[in-house]
Amino acid sequence: MSVFEPKTVLTLLKHSTAVSPLEKNTFEKKWRASVKKRVSTWNEARSHMNNPRPQFQLQWESEIIEYVQFLWEKTRSQSKKGDPGKLGVNVPLLGPHFLPPSYLHVQKRSGGGTIEPTMQYLKPLNILHPFYYLHLGQCPRCRSDKDTAWEGWTSKGA
């Protein structure tokens, strides 16, 4: 179980060895744009629901998915026979069970901001992804991983 604080994780990743010095300026902008796009896509797909998921929950979940996607891109092998990439020691390795930050986490962070009551309503999130569960990248029938590819995330949200 890992407590996921989006601002903290984003800052750690931005200053880690996983992000090249040339990318540092645009990394946060791309991250935020991707999160925003995912939330808006989920909102459109869920607009017909009587009880849609709260906006703050969707935002938090989208930040987690962006984080997992970042880890996946940095560690998956780019070639068929290539070894998977490795993360540096300064890259936080969290999950697959993500817990929302508590009041304590917000209080103890400098510049963490004010405590918002909505934070207490965030629900934990379990991520099922080949980064954490390698067998998801295999055919369930024959266990082959030759022509099996991870398609991506659901467009409707959690």
pLDDT recorded at residue 10: 95
> For tokens 């986490």, what's the residue?
105
Q: How many helices (H) and strands (E) does the chain have?
A: 4, 3
The pLDDT profile of the chain, 158 residues, written as one tens digit per residue, is: 899 999 999 999 999 999 998 898 899 999 999 999 999 998 888 878 777 788 999 999 999 999 999 999 999 876 555 677 888 899 999 999 999 988 887 778 766 566 777 778 899 999 998 889 888 877 778 877 776 666 666 655 55
**Amino acid identity, position 3:** V
pLDDT, residue 86, reads 87
Predicted pLDDT of residue 156: 58
Q: Environment class of residue 60 by beta-carbon count within 10 Å: exposed (0-12), middle (13-18) or buried (19+)?
A: buried
Looking at the DSSP bridge assignments, the partners of residue 98 are: 2, 125
- The whole-number pLDDT of residue 155 equals 58
Using CA atoms, how far residue 100 sits from 46, 121, 158, in Å, is 23, 9, 15
Q: Residue with structure tokens 């998801």?
A: 136
Per-residue model confidence (pLDDT) at position 29: 95
